[in-house]
Amino acid sequence: MRIIFHVGMGKTGTSSVQHALATSTERLAAQKVAYLGMWFDAIDPGFRGYEGQERFFTSDAATMESHAEQFYDRLAARSAAEGIETFVLSNEAIYGNVHNFTPFLRRLQAKPDVALQIVAYIRNPYAWLPSAYAQWGIRHKQQPGSIQPYGQRARDLLGIYSGFRAWAENFGDCLAVRRHDKGIDVLADFAETTGLALESMGKRQLERAEPAETLLRALFNNRFEEPVLPERFERVVVDTSLCPVPSLHDMTEFCFRHDETAEIIDEQRPLFEFIRDRLGIDYLSETPAPAPPPDEAEIQRRMIDYLVEITLNQAQRLKRLERQIKDLRDAQ
């Protein structure tokens, strides 16, 4: 029985690999492969999700060994019942929990019928640090207090690379560390490294926010003393995964681009020929150039005027609503 752990590191295309694995169920099944997802809920449903993951990784060594036995038993049962020969679990949090996870892996390694493979990706720190800062310094503010400046947070984040020393020293015999550089197709590389055939994914799965969203998250998260999970911004401000923020430029093009006017009128040429011939009014000989779209910079400036007015009006309405709620509570 082969068990593949794809462990990250973070910001190295993990989401793309997970998406490809999740959408390749039938193709994997034909190879006698099963994708287990991100979580260790095969051991206990309570280990599902980020809170469950934290409970799993904070288990002591003896409990971790017990978890490994349960994990092995569940997989062995599935292997016997379904003919599965390879299981894959992908979770970038494993990388940073190498020390806690070591007793689990050691117990699996001791099984004579288990072939263990650990796949990790390493990225050039010059490219990784700015991306990691946006993710774990701003989007997910992990530290208490104000958002730390790049020079401070990036120095702490760079320590993540030391995890490769622990992985190599403890599991070098079954560890494959692959480069994640610009121009490398991480999905194709993962398929080649593991020997798995996966469905072509097309568009890459990216969790990178555009600069405007990152800036908004920074302004929001900086209001709180405690660490702030990304979901807090999404609940209070906007969830861009469910409701993408439209582009003002695209909407301007959509609303004010009239290049097709002549083509549209020509489609009704017989009608306008009738108006010309019977009513003496000729529009067909008039082909004025379409009016240019409005100045986009002026629209953006004017939109700010509108937004300021809307914000102030809403602030007044919210204050009145707060007073009304307070009065109702006082009256109870």
Q: Angle at the Cα of 127 (from 122 to 131), degrees rounded to 5?
A: 95
Least confident residue range of 75-79, 95-99, 328-332 = 328-332
% of residues, the chain, pLDDT over 70: 98
* Residue 332 predicted with pLDDT over 90: no
- Order of strands, sheet of 115-122, starting from the edge strand that comes earlier in the sequence: 33-35, 86-90, 2-6, 115-122, 175-179
pLDDT tier at 241 (50, 70, 90 boundaries)? confident
CATH assignment of 2-124+145-208, among 2.60.40, 3.40.50, 3.40.91, 3.30.70: 3.40.50
* Residue 205 predicted with pLDDT over 60: no
pLDDT of residue 245: 87
> What backbone torsions phi and psi does residue 193 show, to the nearest 5 degrees?
-65, -40
Measured CA distances, 286 to 264, 270, 279 (Å): 14, 16, 16
**pLDDT, tens digit, 9 for 90 and up, residues 209-233:** 789 999 999 999 999 999 999 999 9
**pLDDT, tens digit, 9 for 90 and up, residues 126-145:** 999 999 999 999 999 999 99
Measured CA distances, 213 to 31, 209, 210 (Å): 41, 6, 6
**Cα(99)–Cα(209) distance, integer angstroms:** 31
Q: What residue ranges do the domains of the chain occupy?
A: 2-124+145-208, 248-293, 295-331
- Any alpha helices (H) in the chain, and if so which ranges? 14-22, 25-30, 49-57, 61-82, 93-96, 98-109, 125-133, 150-157, 163-171, 186-194, 211-221, 230-236, 248-256, 261-266, 269-279, 296-331
Q: Find out whether 259 and 290 touch, Cβ atoms under 8 Å.
A: yes
Tokens of 263: 């083509």
User: Amino acid identity of 55?
Assistant: R
**pLDDT, tens digit, 9 for 90 and up, residues 36-71:** 999 999 999 999 998 999 999 999 999 999 999 999
